[in-house]
Structure 1
Amino acid sequence: MENPVKPSVTVILPARNEAEGLRRTLPGIHRILPDADIIVVDDGSTDATRSVAADAGARVLSAPYGMGNGAAVKRGARAATGEILVFMDADGQHDPADIPLLLAKLAEGFDMAVGARDRSGQANLQRGLANGFYNRLASWMTGHKVVDLTSGFRAVRADRFREFLHLLPNGFSYPTTSTMAFFRSAYPVAYVPIPVARRVGTSSHIRPLKDGVRFLLIIFKIASLYSPLKLFVPASATFFALGLGYYGYTFHTQGRFTNMSTLLFSAAVIIFLIGLVSEQITNLTYQKGDGGT
């Protein structure tokens, strides 16, 4: 019996000032996947990222200025030739030896396999707590257990991933967006536990205040990407309950229906209607991504 032909693989590494990390990561990828197409997307680096990647035999796509991690991922996905895309960070945190574990999940029939970090793999306590909250929120939204919503180490089928390029942001939340898009379209997702090393080179780009605001936006993005009504209905119900409670209070104490109760009831109706409209827009968005299928 002939051996089945293995799908071709493209490894994509978004990189911004990650010369030291690439010196560690690229040789490991060549050892594990000697036939893989390796693309380093240089996102406006000012160090030796481009030359290090080229000297290591990788294809280099360079941007004249920083466009964002998500933008780099999209550029790499468009230029990739492989049937399977592997995304990993260029900072040395991800071990290329774990790539076969992700590819094995795809061979089992999954469309996306994600390297899931444990608590020791989080950058700090704040990030760990935030990511834990996002995982629980996403699990509730999808009805499936989400082990690591924000991991950038993942393998996907190229044709499936490209369906959602128009949804991916240019910033840092492409893992969140792609994961929720796959769940929304009923493409099976698997999680593989992996260890994560300390990053090499410059310190993390995360800033507490800015990061906190960005993570709050991610929460709303999760809801809007998957099922807006799961966000808007509880909010609407909360305003309705407040309005009903306040009306009961004012009727008991003053014997009248106040403007505040009217405002709360109106807000409940408006929020619910916005949720309905958002749900329809979400459905149309994914029909576009599926090509009408």
Structure 2
Amino acid sequence: MNHLSIILPAKNEAPALATLLPRLRATHPEAEIIVVDDGSTDDTRGICASSGVQCLSSPYSMGNGAAIKRGARAATGDILVFMDGDGQHDPADVARLLDQLNRGYDMVVGARDWGSQAGVGRGIANTLYNWLATKMTGHPVLDLTSGFRAVRADKFREFLHLLPNGFSYPTTSTMAFFRSAYPVAYIPIKAAQRVGKSHIKPLRDGIRFLLIIFKIATLYSPLKLFVPASGLFFLLGCANYAWTFAHEGRLTNGSTLMWSAAVIVFLIGLVSEQITALTYRRDA
């Protein structure tokens, strides 16, 4: 078995790969390097062949997360490193990730600074995600959405069935590791300007990234999301009752509906908590 497998999801990233793959091969000649071609229409396969790198090609695009899952299944290394194929990540930082992993961690993530964010909007959104994930887990989360990470293969494959096919695989995998009490560490990195055009669409993926906020809660502890929501409905019901009683001397349907919603939301959270516990249960 190879000790290290480096997996790069790529969609029409041939110009970046032409520079990146030789650098990776030079810095890690012993590593298994796998490019997962997510339905590219450029010369990605030719670049991989000329660099002596394994290329797994899909007949059509299935998404970044799907490429990650396919690469993880095909890799033979006991340590997996995921990095973008667009040239943002420095091959020299792979050694830093591995050094931290060897200190007893199961996942090490390259955390981008503010200057490495792809625009102010993305930077603000990532800051919000990091803050929320930190509150949920009780551990510092410095970059929830970074795609540059090193993991222990056996641990990562436990959660392949949870990973989405889209761009939020980093969020899902990070929260899954925290939930399962697998230690996670962060090291600071500088991400370069990507080569070529980003595949992220601000409107479409902006809505999708908003759903990450709810995924953070449901992946880690659903009750931490549903209990405050239930409490809010209960308080609104009480406030509405106090107002209607003071002005009309009666209980209205509005208050009853909000109290009913509070109970329903709480019960949904309770059921979700049990489902989450079953999801992460490991057989002895």
Q: Give TM-score, length-normalised by structure 2.
A: 0.98
Once residues 262 and 168 of structure 2 are traced to their aligned partners in structure 1, the CA distance between those partners, rounded to angstroms, is: 30
Amino acid at match of 1:19: A
Q: Structure 1 residue aligned with 2:19, among 17, 24, 43?
A: 24
Aligned to 2:179: 184
SS in structure 2 of the partner of residue 156 of structure 1:
strand
Question: Structure 2 matches for 1:111-122, cutoff 5 A?
Answer: 111-122=106-117
Q: Percent identity?
A: 69
Aligned to 1:223: 217
Aligned to 2:227: 233
Between the two proteins, the alignment pairs up a number of residues equal to: 284
Tell whether 2:146 aligns with 1:151.
Answer: yes
Amino acid at match of 1:169: P
Question: Structure 2 matches for 1:135-146, cutoff 5 A?
Answer: 135-146=130-141
SS in structure 2 of the partner of residue 96 of structure 1:
coil
Q: Which runs of 5+ in 2 are unaligned?
A: none
CA offsets 1:27-66 (integer angstroms, 9 cap, x no match): 1111111100000000000001111112111111000000
Q: Give TM-score, length-normalised by structure 1.
A: 0.95
CA offsets 1:171-225 (integer angstroms, 9 cap, x no match): 1000000000000000000000000100012x11222221221011111111111
Runs of 4+ in 1 over 3 A off after TM superposition: none
1:250 deviates by 0.6
Aligned to 1:128: 123
Question: Structure 2 matches for 1:1-293, cutoff 5 A?
Answer: 8-201=3-196, 203-287=197-281, 290=282, 292-293=283-284
CA offsets 1:102-123 (integer angstroms, 9 cap, x no match): 0001110000000000011111
SS in structure 1 of the partner of residue 104 of structure 2:
coil
Once residues 171 and 150 of structure 1 are traced to their aligned partners in structure 2, the CA distance between those partners, rounded to angstroms, is: 12
Once residues 155 and 65 of structure 1 are traced to their aligned partners in structure 2, the CA distance between those partners, rounded to angstroms, is: 27
SS in structure 1 of the partner of residue 77 of structure 2:
coil
- Tell whether the 8 Å contact from 2:89 to 2:191 is kept in structure 1 after alignment: yes
Moved more, 50-59 or 85-94: 50-59
SS in structure 1 of the partner of residue 18 of structure 2:
helix
1:7 deviates by 7.2
Aligned to 1:3: none
SS in structure 2 of the partner of residue 230 of structure 1:
helix
SS in structure 2 of the partner of residue 166 of structure 1:
helix
